[in-house]
Structure 1
Amino acid sequence: MSFTASVLLVCTALTAQAHGGGGERPLSAEEVAKLESKHITNVRQATFGFFRAGEGYFSPDGKSIVFQAVPNLPESIFLKPRPNQYEYQIFTAELAPGAKPKRVSTGEGACTCAFFAPDGNSLIFGSTHLSPSPAAPKSAAYGRSGSRYRWSFPEGMDIFQADLNGEIIKRLTDADGYDAEGSYSPDGKQIIFTSHRDGDGEIYIMDADGKNPRRITHAKGYDGGPFFSPDGKRIIYRSDRKGDDLLQLFVNNVEGTDERQLTDDKSVNWGPYWHRDGRHIIYATSRHGHSNYELYLMNVDTKAEERITFHDGFDGLPVFSPDGKQLMWTSNGRGTDRNSQLFIADFTLDPAPQTASNR
């Protein structure tokens, strides 16, 4: 799941890692491959040539992706910084050899959280391009005490619909404050998103044309990063209910009346995403250290879970392809690039573990 030189939006890739590790010995490439091979194989880098890239999502047909990235800039530009040069913009790319990414955001302001419409003909993303000044006031922010990362919620961030050529079709939100983290329902009739319009980060569902927003969460503390289940009957999201900067995972129905907490520990658990079977989610956790986020698979009904990634460094913002056979996520330790890039692997869903792990 846009940042300036020092702050990150809620959906971004945590490329600035917190200090402190989990005390684990970094594994060799052979050890990592062996441990990860139960679920992921054929790991390959999907984005290249960006200063950083992350938070990617597959198109409905699985043949392309949409993601946020900061382009590499000519050295001369760094001698005279331009506004927003470190902010994310939105790009699409076909998953084919030699395919070149195409920017579909305006190039102004900060952008985040893009998502394809189920018909594949358009997409949505959050953007501040109507008020792109880096000096614009900020609303609330999320960050861990003593860490190097901080997620901000910029005033003027709204959700926009654009076609695949980057032409803005419609501004979908215009409330005060921050509106972003949007994704579609499986039938394309609704969008779920996070908003600060009522003074706290809460989850809302609106019609796909931006009409009839209704609030789903009502507890104090940030709630965000929501996604509909494949059958459209449940939602998954992250929350900082305790106000301790330790995000936990929740599942609920679309009416907001059947909330159930999935994690409750001393880790940051975030970026949950549904598998197509509607029973499993994948998410990132800091339980192995705030400089070593790893991916875990969980059965949302039993809370049984299993570790998926074992590579030293950041692995986060995981998503499945529509057919559930591929996994894409953001990593800053796997490729030759120093900063975060997207990676894709073939994915196999083995039978879930039978008992929940001890927390």
Structure 2
Amino acid sequence: MKPNITLLFILALFIGCKSSHKSASYDAKSGATKIVNTIHYPQEKHLKNIKQLTFGGDNAEAYWSFDGEKLVFQASNIWDLNCDQIFTMNITDDLSKGAKPQMISTGLGRTTCSYFFPDNQTIVYSSTHLADVNCPPVPKKEDYGNKYIWPVYEGFDIFTADINGNQLKQLTFEKGYDAEPTVSPKGDKIVFTSTRTGDLELFTMNLDGTDVKQVTNELGYDGGAFFSPDGTKLIFRSSRPKTEEDIKEYKDLLAQGLVQPTNMELYICNVDGSNLKKITNLGSANWAPFFHPSGKKVIFSSNHKTKHSFNLFMINVDGTGLEQITFDTVFDAFPMFSPDGKKIVFSSNRNNNGTHDTNLFIADWVE
């Protein structure tokens, strides 16, 4: 699930950012805020040949096709979109002059979390278009004590479409939230998040929607799951409330179709849910995890270090060896390695000329 990027910007300001612009620094001599349009920060030694892929709006959750030639992603605040829709592009496409990529979703409702099937022609994604053709309302943080919250719309279901936008099949039919699908590198399973049992738990199913199995069963938001390169494990983010106060707050928000994602850690388990291990204990929001091609490390986004900005970090699957990967001033997230492990794609507020735009970037990965 992709959070509202504009709200993430507000969150960054609320929890400590001193600047009113993204990717900006304060010029003490003049007293003015100057824009820093940076694509590659010098500390980012694992990234090389960074290239910007999108130009304007909110673009996020870009995921590779199995052949490494295409990306599927979601976008809003551009092309007259009222809320997120799913698009696909070749990694060689030039969108710098405003070209609109191929829309995959229906253009109705709100979408999130898309992913390629192994055939490179089929895409699975989540959408509310059957529940309501209009964009669902965005909750106002003022109504919740100015706390940052995500909506988990009960109208979300999971669908497939081809790369030309032809709608193929509905995969989930349960009442409540069914979303956040990703596909195993083995090409046999989908993992997704659902409220069908009354809590936000992980489930797996076959590519045709059959053989649904529950993976997690502990109170808390389990989501954003991805398979390991060999398809045997899952990495995901979770809020696991423990105190009576936190449990009550979590349940009260969930009853309203909301979650508060400001305190999430990363967990790894086998595909059947066994051998569950918490691998971060950093505080703040640790999310958008993805396995390194070796299967021995995980890259993720976190604001634990600076509070006011989200950057990419890498950690061993046993929780050791934490390393900072990106050094943006506001927001880097949704990292994904290409199938051959040679490239990485991520979403960032860098190089946006002080706007609220979030764009996609691709880079060569350097070990």
Calculate the TM-score normalised by the size of structure 1. 0.83
Aligned with 1:324: secondary structure?
A: coil
What is the SS of the residue equivalent to 1:35? Answer: coil
Distance 1:59 1:95 in 2: 10
Structure 1 residue 121: deviation in Å?
A: 1.7
Look up the equivalent residue of 2:49 and give its one-letter code: N
Change (3 A) 1:33 1:162: same
Whole-angstrom distance in 2 between the partners of 1:60 and 1:175: 29
Distance in 1 separating the partners of 2:358 and 2:327: 17
Q: CA deviation at 1:340?
A: 0.9
C-alpha displacement of 1:255:
1.3
Instruction: Give the letter aligned to residue 70 of structure 2.
Output: S
Query: Which of 35, 58, 64 matches 2:43?
Result: 35
Alignment of 1:335-346 (within 5 A): 335-336=352-353, 338-346=356-364
CA-CA distance at 1:151 after TM superposition: 1.0
Return the alpha-carbon distance in structure 2 between the equivalents of residues 272 and 253 of structure 1: 16
Which of 43, 56, 73 in structure 1 is aligned with 2:62? Answer: 56
Matched, 1:231 2:239: no
Q: Deviations over 1:276-304 (max 9, x none)?
A: 21111100011133430010011113521
* Cα offset, 1:133, TM superposition: 5.0
| CA distance in structure 1 between the aligned counterparts of 2:15 and 2:239, rounded to whole angstroms | 21
Indicate if the aligned counterparts of 1:53 and 1:68 stay in contact, CA closer than 8 A: yes
Offset of residue 149 of structure 1: 3.8
Question: Structure 1 residue 87 and structure 2 residue 83: aligned?
Answer: yes
Contact 1:22 1:287 (8 Å CA) reproduced: no
Give the C-alpha shift of residue 131 in structure 1: 1.5
Residues 90 and 16 of structure 1: CA distance in aligned 2, closer, same or farther (over 3 Å): farther
Give the 5 Å matches for 1:114-263: 114-132=114-132, 134=134, 149-242=148-241, 245-263=262-280
Q: How has the CA–CA distance of structure 1 residues 226 and 135 changed in structure 2, closer, same or farther, with 3 Å as cutoff?
A: closer
Q: Aligned letter for 1:86?
A: N
Kindly tell me: are residues 287 and 22 of structure 1, through their superposed partners in 2, closer, same or farther at Cα, counting changes over 3 Å? Answer: farther
Deviations 1:207-258 (A, max 9, x none): 1110121111010111001111010111100100026541000000011110
Cα distance change of structure 1 residues 201 and 259 upon mapping to structure 2, 3 Å threshold: same
C-alpha distance 299-141 of structure 1, shift in aligned 2 (>3 A)? farther
Task: Give me the whole-angstrom Cα distance separating, in 2, the residues matched to 1:232 and 1:184.
Answer: 9
Distance 1:151 1:190, change over 3 A: same
Check 1:141–1:113 CA distance in 2 against 1; reply closer, same or farther (3 A cut).
Answer: farther
Cα deviation for residue 72 of structure 1 reads 2.2
Change in 2 beyond 3 A, CA 1:71/1:141: closer
SS state of the match for residue 17, structure 1? helix
Tell whether the 8 Å contact from 1:284 to 1:295 is kept in structure 2 after alignment.
yes
CA distance in structure 1 between the partners assigned to 2:335 and 2:77 by the alignment: 22
User: For the residues of structure 2 that align with 1:86 and 1:30, how far apart are their CA atoms?
Assistant: 29
Post-superposition CA distance 1:114-138 (Å, at most 9, x none): 0001221201000011112558699
Change beyond 3 A, Cα 1:214–1:65:
same
CA RMSD of aligned residues (A): 3.0
Give 3-state SS (helix, strand or coil) of 1:72's partner: coil
TM-score by length of 2: 0.81
2:110 counterpart residue number = 110
Secondary structure of the 1:252 match is strand
**How far 1:193 moved relative to its partner?**
0.4
Residue type of the partner of 1:231? D
Distance 1:192 1:152, change over 3 A: same
Unaligned runs of 5+ in 1: 75-84, 350-359
1:73–1:292 distance in 2 versus 1, CA, 3 Å: same
- Is the contact between residue 17 and residue 290 of structure 1 (CA under 8 Å) also seen in structure 2? no
TM-fit CA distance, 1:333: 3.0
The 2-side partners of 1:136 and 1:326 are apart by 35
Aligned residues: 329
Say if 1:198 and 1:169 are closer, same or farther in 2 by CA, change over 3 A: same
Q: Show CA shifts across 1:156-213 (max 9, x none).
A: 1001011111111110001111111101112221100000111110000011110121
User: Of 78, 81, 105, which aligns to 1:72?
Assistant: 78
1:14 match: secondary structure: helix
Whether the 8 Å contact between 1:141 and 1:152 is mirrored in structure 2 is: no
